[in-house]
Chain A
Amino acid sequence: EEKQCDFPTVENGRIAQYYYTFKSFYFPMSVDKKLSFFCLAGYATESGKQEEQIRCTAEGWSPNPRCYKKCLKPDLRNGYVSNDKVLYKLQERMSYGCSSGYKTTGGKDEEVVHCLSAGWSSQPSCRKEQETCLAPELEHGNYSTTQRTFKVKDIVAYTCTAGYYTTTGKQTGEAECQANGWSLTPQCNKLMCSSLRLIENGYFHPVKQTYEEGDVVQFFCHENYYLSGSDLIQCYNFGWYPESPICEGRRNRCPPPPVPLNSKIQPHSTTYRHGERVHIECELNFVIQGSEELLCENGKWTEPPKCIEEKEKVACEQPPSVENGVAHPHSEIYYSGDKVTYRCGGGYSLRGSSTITCNRGRWTLPPECVENIENCKPPPDIANGVVVDGLLASYTTGSSVEYRCNEYYLLKGSETSRCEQGAWSSPPVCLEPCTIDVDHMNRNNIQLKWKYEGKILHGDLIDFVCKQGYNLSPSIPLSEISAQCNRGDVRYPMCIRKESKGMCASPPVIRNGDIVSSAARTYENGSSVEYRCFDNHFLQGSQNVYCVDGVWTTPPSCLEPCTLSFVEMDKNYLQLKWNFDNRPLILHGEYIEFMCKRDAYISETSIAGSVLRVQCDRGRLKYPKCTPRDRRLSFQEALRTRRQMEKR
């Protein structure tokens, strides 16, 4: 091992500090050893990094450790740099520009600077042209003054017309002109979106009676339900987008199947359903390893095979001889893919495929020639399907035919039928697809939720939505807005006009709370009332209750506060840890923290703090228990060893 590299000197940089102390131990270093160096602040390695590794070679350190002064991309306010680069090397050029109202250091809109050893040729910056704010046009509001340009620190007040609100949700607003523009740009926006319908098997947040443009509502599904649609919807100036999702069971479609390298896949399709198979074939001279078939199972494909390049060509032997039949050879030597056809002698017929194929040194199974006995008549016809290879006049025992369903029909049962002693085994059934009846949909006031590619096959789920202005009848669960195609039959859900349904009677009365809004005899569908809890009570649930199709949504409950009992505390040797906890009422959900009285201890062995911190739960406080300390030594012994252990 030859020692090659001496202690490196790095201008404007350093190597690890221990190399300086332990210089004679480490140097000279042997070939292939590595070490890192770093550049002082403001310098960088040739590739622009702060730190880099060098390796000892027979020619010395590689790369040569050197640090270069760097120019940084400026942090431009009110301007931009067209290039993305952060670091500029010596002599490199950079061009930048300023936004309107601002000028470069040279007083222009754009400027080019270059990196010198002392930094940029001229420090890039964007300076303001003038220091005023311009009041924007208010479409639905008025300023308190006719003045439109304002100096820094000026304040302008404005009022929005009825039905429009400032960004903070008020009728009137104020904005201050600051050096970089308005503190809050004056604007008046309309309240835009209507209240949202409750969803089956899920809920949303926040619940409000009306929503403003920009409001976002998030939907959640209960366990085992999955959102179909967007979880977030937003109120835009044209209404909600996208529409509210629904919570439904899992779908079983598979993604596009994985295609291994050097393979082909059959058949191609855009959607793949549960139970569907695709066939993978390797390209010529590639051998399959693994299953040739991929099965779509519960939305996932089974593991695909690999196609491995064939190492050498393997020849097949001469085709096997068949009793009462002859082969038609056409070659001396057979390789993969070569085929040979057989024919049977008189009075015999072929059973199995008439041709055999050479496949990597092996022939596929040759046919048999069997005596013509007990033949079958042509196989039975099936509705919406055909026999694949055309019909023969008669079929020998053991031969079989393959059925195929017409396009869009799903085959159920075995696709082949076999001739056994003159009779056919039962043929498959073709299950009908569904056609959407537009008239029926119109009658039921519904439309399709998505556009369906091609036909809808048996078993597919069809998602409907109510037409605008219609709602699903309250007696129907929301999940039934999707229907399954069942052999051509679709059960169309029914939506009914929103206005056509029930008004509500007086809203429910709750304990420890009352209704804020004034009482009425009847309430319109979709209207709401607001509840309020008595003082010191905690409102759980939604404070707004809606009349939906004649029924009120669940009202909130008002949970009682807890009272602090000094009698209970004394009983449990407790005292308050914090002074501020000393108040008569503790609201539901609030915490209160105790500590053991002098000469008492908490017997719980877990982290003591959490046991002594209790939460008020519906008027009940669970007081922790402290035990008065006695002088038994065994306990103290245990504590001491524990403390010792902790230290260790």
Chain B
Amino acid sequence: GVNLKDYLNVTAVHLFKERWDSNKIDHHTDKYDNNKLIVRRGQTFYIQIDFNRPYDPRKDLFRVEYVIGRYPQENKGTYIPVPVVKELQSGKWGAKVIMNEDRSVRLSVQSSPECIVGKFRMYVAVWTPYGILRTRRDPETDTYILFNPWCEEDAVYLDDEKEREEYVLNDIGVIFYGDFKDIKSRSWSYGQFEDGILDTCLYVMDKAEMDLSGRGNPIKVSRVGSAMVNAKDDEGVLVGSWDNVYAYGIPPSAWTGSVDILLEYRSSETPVRYGQCWVFAGVFNTFLRCLGIPARVITNYFSAHDNDANLQMDIFLEEDGNVSSKLTKDSVWNYHCWNEAWMTRPDLPVGFGGWQAVDSTPQENSDGMYRCGPASVQAVKHGHVCFQFDAPFVFAEVNSDLVYITAKQDGTHVVEAVDATHIGKLIVTKQIGGDGMQDITDTYKFQEGQEEERLALETALMYGAKKTLNTEGVVKSRSDVTMNFDVENAVLGKDFKVTITFQNNSSNLYTILAYLSGNITFYTGVSKKEFKKESFEETLDPFSSKKKEVLVRAGEYMSHLLEQGFLHFFVTARINESRDVLAKQKSIILTIPKITIKVRGAAMVGSDMVVTVEFTNPLKETLQNVWIHLDGPGVMRPKRKVFREIRPNTTVQWEEVCRPWVSGHRKLIASMTSDSLRHVYGELDLQIQRRPTM
């Protein structure tokens, strides 16, 4: 006996969610390859509701509802009834009627800037005397809500448009690696807008069983992300491996971007093999930018990995001056990458918002899981390491002292030298709007030797950072002899020279026994194989200098080479007369050949283009199991091809046809990996034209 037809009945809901609709343009979400509505929180968007009859604001009552998760609750923010209001109030959910014509009502809907980030289901609820009638569940009206760096009330608000363009919207980046003396860069395809990536990033939080109510908080989201990007203890995205054996997986150096990794993780639902620091940082950056948190990848040259967090890296020497690999446990990574995410820190006192260091490379356990951060960069710089999360660890990564200790045969340890300037030599990130390098060392540290540097260290010690050795005052009296050495620019597969120079600054005559030790190392500084060991004696006349050249033949290192071509040299010298020990170390990175990429055809959206990848084997040996990866966000989906072998001096060619779908500045990125040679890259900048209009 009830005629529900008397009540307002929803016939259609329009979300204006096409790529060109203002909902996507104004919210900077038009780049997502996703046909659902994607909006950023705290900002208004438009929807239109068609009813079976005109809406009468005096009699009819309806509201829009957003729901997420299985057990929606209003107090958890997982069930959001949006009231129709006369005026929108900043900071609150609301919907304002901006047009009421015929049977259609157009609403300007505003979300709360603290709202959960994720994929919501949307309903329209109409009041009748018999209860609330809701529209059907329709996947087409599902709405993604993301963080909003454009909104002042949002915790991730970033007030510079150029920075937002770079740190949120740029889907191609540059990661710096190599050595402090020989900085190299490679492009990385973040691909945060590619098809399926947004869903995967949300899936990552689901997989972490992250509480929905915490998903509006960038501190929690980035902390969960730092734990989930590595597979340790939570079945996260990437398995780390540093032992140069990458069976049943892809070598870390082969990846060209994050898309392949994330999509494989989504479809297999198991961790992807393998990653090292730049892969972890690349994938984590995609995760953060995709959800709308401004983020960048940074590289710290000579990064300390301090096992006991005592702000000192111990290098043990044997009595004859040779380095003891048995006792030396701490390691100095040639470089280490991590991420910075931009956000306010309402959980900390004022002044610690802004860039936060977050690191997803599994290094140390933090509250029971392998994760690191977010740690306020400001707090690290000023030594306020008491503020969560993991600030003491990041502080040690950039501030430790290098301590050379001689382990005497009677069991006692003697500090020979302290190098306080080696660690955290340089911290860089990609510059805004270009592929160059931006030095951000001064955001982490005060200038070397400044009064403030000492103050920051004192503050850190006061707030609980440990330092077992008081290094002040142990600086030994300067020796009469100084030693230095240089390594010639070394090309992979070629011989090169190491030159050691001694300078006698006194009127005494000295005889010297010196050791040169050449090691193949991982980028983490861990030595794999000593390939060169040479000792020699020199006699130094008063006030004279002497040079000693040592030739390193290609054959000596080639067969042991690790993927990144890092060679590490230690030179130690003992002066027989004074029993002083001199020690110096240096890493070099071999110059590795490149892959060439060429394109033919119109570089235009929607038209075919042929991509040619070329690689010539420069070595005297045959390369086996050669994988080439090719990637270009917006230009082509990631592809790979295997060549069983490439003979010496032979060139292989691979052609692929692609059809770009994004215009503007794009990049093609290629990487090559084989059993014996890795970290071979190539890239090509492209300007893709818009599709011509008729």
The listed residue with most B CB atoms (<10 A of its CB), out of A21, A84, A241, A303, is A21
A234, B693: Cβ atoms closer than 8 Å: no
Given contacts A18-B384, A645-B243, A648-B242, A258 and B351 within 8 Å (CB-CB): no
A236, B331: Cβ atoms closer than 8 Å: no
Tell whether B57 is near chain A: CB-to-CB under 8 Å.
no
The residue in chain B whose Cβ has the minimal distance to the Cβ of A609 is B233
B455, A301: Cβ atoms closer than 8 Å: no
| Least CB distance, B19 to chain A, in whole angstroms | 7
In the complex, chain B residues whose CB is within 8 Å of the CB of A51: 346, 350
Tell whether A507 is near chain B: CB-to-CB under 8 Å.
no
B459, A21: Cβ atoms closer than 8 Å: yes
Cα(A17)–Cα(B136), bound, Å: 54
B135, A16: Cβ atoms closer than 8 Å: no
Tell whether A646 is near chain B: CB-to-CB under 8 Å.
yes
In the complex, chain A residues whose CB is within 8 Å of the CB of B421: none
Complex interface: stretch among A30-38, A143-151, A477-485: A30-38
> Could you jot down 17 A-B contacts, CB within 8 Å?
A18-B384, A18-B459, A21-B382, A36-B350, A36-B353, A227-B136, A230-B135, A234-B131, A236-B130, A238-B130, A241-B130, A644-B526, A645-B240, A645-B524, A646-B232, A646-B362, A648-B363
Cα(A69)–Cα(B307), bound, Å: 48
A22, B455: Cβ atoms closer than 8 Å: yes
Proximity string of chain A (222-241) to chain B, C-beta cutoff 8 Å, 1 when within and 0 when not: 00001101111010111001
The residue in chain A whose Cβ has the minimal distance to the Cβ of B350 is A38
Tell whether A519 is near chain B: CB-to-CB under 8 Å.
no
Tell whether A8 is near chain B: CB-to-CB under 8 Å.
no
Cα(A638)–Cα(B667), bound, Å: 40
B136, A229: Cβ atoms closer than 8 Å: yes
B693, A305: Cβ atoms closer than 8 Å: yes
Tell whether A256 is near chain B: CB-to-CB under 8 Å.
yes
| Least CB distance, B212 to chain A, in whole angstroms | 19
B19, A303: Cβ atoms closer than 8 Å: yes
B136, A245: Cβ atoms closer than 8 Å: yes
In the complex, chain B residues whose CB is within 8 Å of the CB of A289: 693
In the complex, chain A residues whose CB is within 8 Å of the CB of B452: 22, 25
Interface residues of A in 1-60 (CB under 8 A from B): 14-19, 21-22, 25, 35-38, 51
Tell whether B411 is near chain A: CB-to-CB under 8 Å.
no
Tell whether B89 is near chain A: CB-to-CB under 8 Å.
yes
The residue in chain A whose Cβ has the minimal distance to the Cβ of B271 is A606
In the complex, chain A residues whose CB is within 8 Å of the CB of B1: 238
| 8 extra interface residue pairs, beta carbon distance < 8 Å, beyond A241-B4, A290-B693, A646-B362 | A21-B382, A242-B136, A255-B12, A291-B694, A303-B20, A304-B20, A647-B364, A648-B333
| Least CB distance, B617 to chain A, in whole angstroms | 30
In the complex, chain B residues whose CB is within 8 Å of the CB of A440: none
| Least CB distance, B12 to chain A, in whole angstroms | 8
Proximity string of chain B (125-139) to chain A, C-beta cutoff 8 Å, 1 when within and 0 when not: 000001101111111
Given contacts A291-B693, A648-B331, A14 and B89 within 8 Å (CB-CB): no
| Least CB distance, A273 to chain B, in whole angstroms | 15
B14, A22: Cβ atoms closer than 8 Å: no
In the complex, chain A residues whose CB is within 8 Å of the CB of B351: 15-19, 35-36
Given contacts A21-B382, A648-B305, A16 and B18 within 8 Å (CB-CB): no
| Least CB distance, B101 to chain A, in whole angstroms | 12
Cα(A290)–Cα(B692), bound, Å: 8
Proximity string of chain B (522-542) to chain A, C-beta cutoff 8 Å, 1 when within and 0 when not: 001010000000000000000
Cβ-neighbour of A18 out of B137, B382, B524, B693 (below 8 A) = B382
In the complex, chain B residues whose CB is within 8 Å of the CB of A291: 693-694
| Least CB distance, A310 to chain B, in whole angstroms | 16
In the complex, chain B residues whose CB is within 8 Å of the CB of A648: 242, 305, 307, 331, 333, 363, 524, 526
The residue in chain A whose Cβ has the minimal distance to the Cβ of B121 is A231
In the complex, chain B residues whose CB is within 8 Å of the CB of A84: 89
B137, A230: Cβ atoms closer than 8 Å: yes
Tell whether B551 is near chain A: CB-to-CB under 8 Å.
no
Interface residues of B in 300-343 (CB under 8 A from A): 305, 307, 331, 333
Cβ-neighbour of A258 out of B16, B89, B133, B243 (below 8 A) = B16
The listed residue with most A CB atoms (<10 A of its CB), out of B1, B382, B526, is B382
Cα(A135)–Cα(B130), bound, Å: 24
Interface residues of B in 636-694 (CB under 8 A from A): 693-694
Cβ-neighbour of B35 out of A237, A242, A300, A607 (below 8 A) = A300
In the complex, chain B residues whose CB is within 8 Å of the CB of A455: none
Tell whether B143 is near chain A: CB-to-CB under 8 Å.
no
Proximity string of chain A (201-227) to chain B, C-beta cutoff 8 Å, 1 when within and 0 when not: 000000000000000000000000011
A17, B349: Cβ atoms closer than 8 Å: yes
Cα(A21)–Cα(B378), bound, Å: 13
Cα(A166)–Cα(B124), bound, Å: 31
Cα(A292)–Cα(B547), bound, Å: 78
Proximity string of chain A (252-277) to chain B, C-beta cutoff 8 Å, 1 when within and 0 when not: 00011010000000000000000000
The residue in chain B whose Cβ has the minimal distance to the Cβ of A303 is B20
Cα(A646)–Cα(B138), bound, Å: 47
Tell whether A642 is near chain B: CB-to-CB under 8 Å.
yes
Interface residues of B in 133-150 (CB under 8 A from A): 133-139
In the complex, chain A residues whose CB is within 8 Å of the CB of B495: none
The residue in chain B whose Cβ has the minimal distance to the Cβ of A16 is B351
The residue in chain A whose Cβ has the minimal distance to the Cβ of B692 is A290
Proximity string of chain B (34-68) to chain A, C-beta cutoff 8 Å, 1 when within and 0 when not: 01000000000000100000000000000000000
Tell whether B265 is near chain A: CB-to-CB under 8 Å.
no
In the complex, chain A residues whose CB is within 8 Å of the CB of B362: 646
B378, A16: Cβ atoms closer than 8 Å: yes
A18, B378: Cβ atoms closer than 8 Å: yes
The residue in chain A whose Cβ has the minimal distance to the Cβ of B270 is A606
Tell whether B21 is near chain A: CB-to-CB under 8 Å.
yes
Tell whether B352 is near chain A: CB-to-CB under 8 Å.
yes
Tell whether A500 is near chain B: CB-to-CB under 8 Å.
no
In the complex, chain A residues whose CB is within 8 Å of the CB of B133: 241-242
Tell whether B435 is near chain A: CB-to-CB under 8 Å.
no
In the complex, chain B residues whose CB is within 8 Å of the CB of A610: 235
In the complex, chain A residues whose CB is within 8 Å of the CB of B352: 16
In the complex, chain B residues whose CB is within 8 Å of the CB of A647: 307, 363-364
Tell whether A641 is near chain B: CB-to-CB under 8 Å.
yes
In the complex, chain B residues whose CB is within 8 Å of the CB of A242: 133, 136
In the complex, chain A residues whose CB is within 8 Å of the CB of B134: 230, 232
In the complex, chain A residues whose CB is within 8 Å of the CB of B350: 14-16, 36-38, 51
The residue in chain A whose Cβ has the minimal distance to the Cβ of B450 is A25
| Least CB distance, A447 to chain B, in whole angstroms | 14
Given contacts A51-B350, A238-B2, A648-B526, A300 and B18 within 8 Å (CB-CB): yes
In the complex, chain B residues whose CB is within 8 Å of the CB of A644: 526
Cα(A192)–Cα(B526), bound, Å: 73
| Least CB distance, A360 to chain B, in whole angstroms | 15
Cβ-neighbour of B14 out of A17, A238, A255, A290 (below 8 A) = A255
In the complex, chain A residues whose CB is within 8 Å of the CB of B346: 51
Cβ-neighbour of A645 out of B21, B139, B242 (below 8 A) = B242
| Least CB distance, B94 to chain A, in whole angstroms | 11
In the complex, chain B residues whose CB is within 8 Å of the CB of A37: 350
A256, B235: Cβ atoms closer than 8 Å: no
In the complex, chain B residues whose CB is within 8 Å of the CB of A14: 349-350
B384, A17: Cβ atoms closer than 8 Å: yes
The 3 closest A-B pairs by CB, nearest first: A16-B351, A231-B137, A230-B136
Cβ-neighbour of B349 out of A22, A38, A255, A607 (below 8 A) = A38
Proximity string of chain A (474-506) to chain B, C-beta cutoff 8 Å, 1 when within and 0 when not: 000000000000000000000000000000000
The residue in chain A whose Cβ has the minimal distance to the Cβ of B451 is A25
Cα(A275)–Cα(B599), bound, Å: 36
Cβ-neighbour of A607 out of B235, B243, B364, B526 (below 8 A) = B235
In the complex, chain A residues whose CB is within 8 Å of the CB of B451: 25
In the complex, chain A residues whose CB is within 8 Å of the CB of B12: 255
In the complex, chain A residues whose CB is within 8 Å of the CB of B231: 607
In the complex, chain B residues whose CB is within 8 Å of the CB of A642: 243
In the complex, chain A residues whose CB is within 8 Å of the CB of B446: 25
| Least CB distance, B83 to chain A, in whole angstroms | 11
Cα(A19)–Cα(B242), bound, Å: 42
